[in-house]
C-alpha cells in the first residue's frame, strides 16, 4: 500500500509540474493557427521526455550522479561550464516568466496591482522552499496542479473532431505558403521544446537523490516518468483542442495568458473559472520553484559542493544562496515590466538550443556499463534515445532561424 501511494503521489507531482506557462500559451496558440496538425509534436515530445526522464532518474539512483554531475563528467570543464551558465540563464528567464504569469492570474482573481503581487508571490514561494521539506513542496504543488484537469474536461465537453485529432499525429510537410510553413515549424519546435525543458530533468534527477531512491525504486521511477508525463500530455492535448474549437473558427490568436486560461472554463462559465485559474497557479508555482531550485542544484553538482533541500541551509550555503538569488533576480526581471510571454518565447527557443548539452551526456552515461552495471541501457533504449537526440539536435539548429524568420511566431 505504501508503494502504491508513493507511485500515485509521484505521478500526481509529475503532472503538477508538467504543464507550465510555455505549454499553456504555445499549445493554445498552435491550435488556434493550425488546428490539430501539430498533434504529432505533442506525441513526439511525450515519448522523448518519458525516455530521458527515466534515464535521468535511473542514472541518479544507480550512479548517484544527478544531471549536472553527469554534464561535468561527460562534457569536460570548459564545455560543461558553458552548459552550466546557459542552463542557469535559461532557468532564470523561465523563473521570471512563471512569476510574471502568477502575478497576472492573481490580478485576475483579486484586482490588486501586479507588481505588488509579484513581490508577494516571490516572498511566499521563497518561504515555502525555505520551510517545507522537499517531499511536501513536491506533493503540495503537484496535487494542487490536478485542478488543471478542468482544461481536458472542457475540451471533451466541446466535442473535438476525434478523426482530425488522430490525423494530426501524421506530420504535414508543408503549408500553403512560405510564411505558414515557417510558422508551422516554429510552433512544432516550440511545443517539442516546452515538453522537454531541461529544468524538468534537472529537478527530477536531483529529487530522486533527495528522496533517497535506491535500485529497488527503479520500477517506481519508470511509473512516475511514464504515467506522469502521459497525464501531462493529455492536458496538453486538451489545450490544443481548446485552441482549435474556440479560437480557430473565430480567427482569434490568443496573445495573453488570461485568454488561454478563460478557455478552460468556457463550457462551464464561472463555475470552472476558479478551478482553471487555481490549477494554472499551482503549475506555474511548481515551475517557479523547480527552476529556482534547479539553479542551486546545477551549480553545486557541477562544482561538487554540498547541496540538498532537506539539508540545513547553513550546511549548504552555496545551494541556498543560489536558489535565493534565482528567486530575487527573477523577481527583478519581472518587475521591469517585460511581458511574461516575451520571456516564454525566449526561454523556449533558448532552451531548445541548449538542450543537446543536457541530453547527450545523460544518454552517454546511461549507456556506460562501467557506470550503470546491470542497469545499463538496453540496445533498444540506446537506439530510441539516439533517434530522439537527433530530433533534439535538428530542432536546436532550427530554433533561432525560425524565431527570427517568424518574428517569434507572429501570425
What is the mean pLDDT of the segment spanning 371-383?
Answer: 96
Mean pLDDT of 318-340: 96
Q: 6 pLDDT band (50/70/90 cuts)?
A: low
Say how far apart CA 196 and CA 160 lie, in whole Å: 26
Q: Quick one: pLDDT band at residue 22, thresholds 50, 70, 90? A: confident
Q: Cell triple for residue 363?
A: 544518454
Is the pLDDT at 292 greater than 70, yes or no? yes
Cell numbers for 29: 496558440
CB 319 within 8 A of CB 300: yes
Domain membership of residue 411 (yes or no) is: no
Phi and psi for 200 in degrees, rounded to 5?
A: -60, -50
> According to the model, what pLDDT value does residue 70 have?
95
pLDDT in tens, 62-107: 999 999 999 999 999 999 999 999 999 999 999 999 999 999 999 9
Sequence-ordered list of residues with C-beta below 8 angstroms from that of 333, at least 6 positions apart, any chain: 92, 93, 96, 343
Q: What is the DSSP string of 226-295?
A: HHHHHHHHHHHHHHHHHIIIIITTTT----SHHHHHHHHTGGGTHHHHHHHHHHHHHHHHHHHHHHHHHH
Average pLDDT, the chain: 91
Question: Has residue 292 been placed in a domain?
Answer: yes
Share of the chain above pLDDT 70, in %: 95
Give me the percent of the chain exceeding a pLDDT of 90: 71
Task: Tell whether the model's pLDDT for residue 12 goes beyond 60.
Answer: no
Q: Is the pLDDT confidence value at 356 over 60?
A: yes
Question: Mean per-residue pLDDT for 49-62?
Answer: 95
Poorest-confidence range of 38-47, 266-275, 305-314?
A: 266-275
Distance CA 385, CA 395 (A): 15
Averaged pLDDT for residues 276-280: 91
The pLDDT score that the predictor gives to residue 50 is: 94
Min mean pLDDT across 4-13, 50-59, 102-111 is at: 4-13
pLDDT at 32 over 70: yes
Q: What is the pLDDT of residue 2?
A: 46
**For the residues 7-29, what does the mean pLDDT come to?**
71
CATH of the domain at 205: 1.20.1740.10
**Each residue of 303-325: pLDDT tens digit?**
999 999 989 999 999 999 999 99
pLDDT at 406: 95
Number of structural domains in the chain: 1
Is 410 domain-assigned? no
Residue 223 lies in a domain: yes
Per-residue confidence (pLDDT) for residue 172, from 0 to 100: 81
Range of the domain at 310: 2-405
- The stretch 331-359 carries a mean pLDDT of 93
In the predicted structure, residue 3 carries a pLDDT above the cut 70: no
pTM above 0.85, yes or no: yes
Question: Which pLDDT band holds residue 14 (cuts at 50, 70, 90)?
Answer: low
Q: Is the pLDDT reported for residue 4 higher than 90?
A: no
Q: Of the segments 46-60, 129-143, 169-183, which one has the largest average pLDDT value?
A: 46-60
Q: What is the DSSP string of 25-81?
A: HHHHHHHHHHTTTTHHHHHHHHHHHHHHHHHHHHHHHHH---HHHHHHHHHHHHHHH
**pLDDT value at position 264?**
87
Q: Taking residues 360-383, what's their average pLDDT?
A: 96
136: pLDDT strictly greater than 60: yes
* 198-247 confidence digits (pLDDT tens): 898 999 999 899 988 899 989 888 888 888 888 889 999 999 999 999 99
Cα(108)–Cα(96) distance, rounded to whole angstroms?
Answer: 19
Amino acid at each position: 500500500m505504501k508503494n502504491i501511494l508513493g507511485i500515485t503521489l509521484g505521478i500526481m507531482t509529475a503532472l503538477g509540474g508538467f504543464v507550465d506557462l510555455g505549454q499553456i500559451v504555445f499549445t493554445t496558440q498552435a491550435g488556434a493557427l493550425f488546428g490539430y496538425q501539430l498533434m504529432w509534436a505533442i506525441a513526439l515530445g511525450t515519448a522523448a521526455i518519458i525516455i530521458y526522464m527515466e534515464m535521468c532518474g535511473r542514472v541518479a539512483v544507480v550512479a548517484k550522479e544527478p544531471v549536472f554531475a553527469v554534464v561535468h563528467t561527460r562534457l569536460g570543464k570548459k564545455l560543461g561550464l558553458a552548459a552550466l551558465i546557459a542552463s542557469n540563464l535559461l532557468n532564470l528567464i523561465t523563473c521570471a516568466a512563471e512569476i510574471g504569469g502568477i502575478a497576472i492570474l492573481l490580478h485576475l482573481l483579486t484586482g490588486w496591482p501586479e507588481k505588488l503581487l509579484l513581490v508577494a508571490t516571490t516572498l511566499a514561494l521563497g518561504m515555502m522552499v525555505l520551510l517545507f521539506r522537499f517531499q511536501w513542496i513536491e506533493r503540495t504543488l503537484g496535487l494542487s496542479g490536478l485542478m488543471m484537469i478542468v482544461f481536458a474536461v472542457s475540451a471533451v465537453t466541446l466535442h473535438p473532431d476525434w478523426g482530425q485529432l488522430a490525423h494530426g499525429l501524421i506530420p504535414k510537410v508543408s503549408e500553403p505558403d512560405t510564411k505558414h510553413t515557417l510558422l508551422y515549424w516554429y510552433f512544432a519546435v516550440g511545443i517539442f521544446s516546452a515538453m522537454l525543458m531541461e529544468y524538468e530533468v534537472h529537478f527530477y534527477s536531483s529529487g530522486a537523490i533527495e528522496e533517497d531512491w535506491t535500485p529497488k525504486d527503479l520500477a517506481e521511477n519508470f511509473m512516475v516518468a511514464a504515467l506522469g508525463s502521459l497525464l501531462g500530455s493529455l492536458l496538453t492535448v486538451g489545450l490544443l483542442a481548446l485552441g482549435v474549437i474556440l479560437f480557430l473558427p473565430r480567427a482569434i490568436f490568443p496573445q495573453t495568458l488570461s485568454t488561454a486560461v478563460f478557455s478552460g472554463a468556457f463550457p462551464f462559465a464561472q463555475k470552472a473559472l476558479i478551478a482553471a485559474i487555481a490549477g494554472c497557479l499551482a503549475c506555474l508555482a511548481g515551475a517557479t520553484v523547480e527552476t529556482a531550485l534547479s539553479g542551486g542544484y546545477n551549480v553545486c553538482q557541477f562544482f561538487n559542493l554540498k547541496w540538498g533541500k532537506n539539508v540545513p541551509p547553513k550546511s549548504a550555503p552555496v545551494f541556498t544562496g543560489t536558489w535565493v538569488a534565482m528567486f530575487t533576480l527573477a523577481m527583478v526581471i519581472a518587475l521591469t515590466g517585460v511581458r511574461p510571454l516575451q520571456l516564454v518565447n525566449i526561454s523556449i527557443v533558448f532552451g531548445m538550443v541548449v538542450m543537446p548539452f543536457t541530453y547527450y551526456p545523460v544518454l552517454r552515461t546511461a549507456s556506460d556499463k562501467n557506470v550503470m552495471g546491470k542497469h545499463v541501457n538496453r540496445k533498444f533504449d540506446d537506439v530510441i534515445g539516439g533517434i530522439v537526440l537527433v530530433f533534439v539536435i535538428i530542432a536546436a539548429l532550427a530554433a533561432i532561424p525560425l524565431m527570427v524568420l517568424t518574428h517569434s511566431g507572429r501570425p
